[in-house]
Amino acid sequence: MKAAIVRGAGQTPVYGDFAAPVPSAEENRIRVAAAALSHLVKGRAAGTHYSSQGRFPFVAGIDGVGRLDDGRRVYFVMPKAPNGSMAEETVVPAAQCLSLPDGLDDVTAAAIANPGMSSWAAFAERARLKAGETVLVNGATGISGRLAVQIARHFGAKKIIATGRNVDVLNALGADATIPLVEDEQALENSFKEQLAQGVDVVIDYLWGKSAQSLLIAGAKAGADTVPIRFVQVGSMSGSDITLPAAVLRSSAIELMGSGIGSVSLSRLISCIGELFQATLPAGFTIAAKPVPLSDVEAAWSDDDSARRIVFTVGLR
């Protein structure tokens, strides 16, 4: 069968022939229709993500949309290694497949699953967001951050504060307040303190790095009169490390936690994706997607268009 094959750490996947998988009694064979390219997929292919297994060769991709042997259309996640989602066929444990709602097309489902799950799980499983609370999305101008703003609104957030470097995109998000991520650290800290002083219940952080550091320090300096902050770390687009003074945690009611593979069980992540799919059409969630034939994987792999999610298509049915 044809597949996007990763032959070594850091190598771009190549389109070629890979042995067709044979499902066991507990697995489903899936004829793949669409599989999205994400930072997680790239990180696992490069061997840099914490969930990477480091065994080569393997087929790229962690999730996608396709059809079972009985014709049912499903979303699937975490195929059995060395198989992946970017192939004509894959095999996945039956418990890791979800039936898709009618009307939700293959490309949209493949595109929205991972970025939408990132905030859905952070809000529902980690922060336990309640209707009427205030949310700050740090890094709201990327694909995941834009969805986080939409999903926070769906969860009933009273006020949404969005941060980002692209001011034009930031202003178009429909958030209640925005904070441009400027280079001046003191100015940025002051902007954070102004919003935190009014009360922020939940922070969803897609960036880490300097902005997260400033945000945490500002949260501590805002004082004990502010509401406790549940700070959920989801992504690290601005850096993998920060310098955090110990006093920040001792002098504040900040609850610092992460959300992702490991901090949330796979079964709960799958449940979150199912809930996301059921809400996507009624809530009007939107995501820009760019369908690309799987045969063009090598050319498209390095395309980091933060405005659209690349979705590799395999003879859409």
Calculate the alpha carbon distances from 185 to 181, 188, 282 in Å: 9, 5, 41
Pull the structure tokens for residue 252: 């504040």
The pLDDT assigned to 225 comes to: 65
The pLDDT assigned to 139 comes to: 97
Separation of alpha carbons 119 and 172, rounded Å: 19
Three-state secondary structure call for residue 274: helix
Separation of alpha carbons 195 and 218, rounded Å: 10
Separation of alpha carbons 303 and 23, rounded Å: 33
Taking only the tens place, the pLDDT of each residue in 233-271 is 999 989 889 999 998 888 888 999 999 888 999 999 999
Q: Checking DSSP bridges between strand 58-59 and strand 14-17, what pairing results, if any?
A: unpaired
Separation of alpha carbons 116 and 299, rounded Å: 26
The neighbour count for residue 284, using CB atoms within 10 Å, is 9
Three-state secondary structure call for residue 177: strand
Taking only the tens place, the pLDDT of each residue in 140-175 is 999 999 999 999 999 999 999 999 999 999 999 999
Three-state secondary structure call for residue 164: strand
CB neighbour list of residue 33: distance below 8 Å, 6 or more residues apart: 64, 65, 66, 67, 73, 106, 110, 313, 314, 315, 316, 317
**pTM (predicted TM-score):** 0.92
Q: Which strands make up the sheet holding 159-164, listed edge to edge?
A: 177-180, 159-164, 134-138, 202-205, 230-233, 255-258
Q: Checking DSSP bridges between strand 309-313 and strand 27-36, what pairing results, if any?
A: antiparallel
Taking only the tens place, the pLDDT of each residue in 74-107 is 999 999 889 999 999 999 999 999 999 999 999 9
The pLDDT assigned to 47 comes to: 63
Helices (H), 91-207: 106-121, 143-154, 167-171, 185-196
Question: Of 211 and 317, which is predicted with more confidence?
Answer: 211
On the question of pLDDT at 317 being above 50, the answer is no
Average pLDDT value over all residues in the chain: 92
Sorted by where each starts, the structural domains of the chain and their CATH numbers stand as: 2-99+287-313 (3.90.180.10), 114-258 (3.40.50.720)
The answer to whether residues 91 and 25 touch, using CB atoms and an 8 Å cutoff, is: no
The neighbour count for residue 3, using CB atoms within 10 Å, is 32
CA angle 250, 256, 261 (to 5 degrees): 155
Confidence bin at 273 (pLDDT 50/70/90): very high
Q: Looking at residue 12, what DSSP letter applies?
A: P
Separation of alpha carbons 173 and 167, rounded Å: 10
The answer to whether residues 108 and 280 touch, using CB atoms and an 8 Å cutoff, is: yes
Taking only the tens place, the pLDDT of each residue in 46-65 is 765 555 566 789 999 999 99
Is the bond leading into 21 cis (omega within 30 degrees of zero)?
no
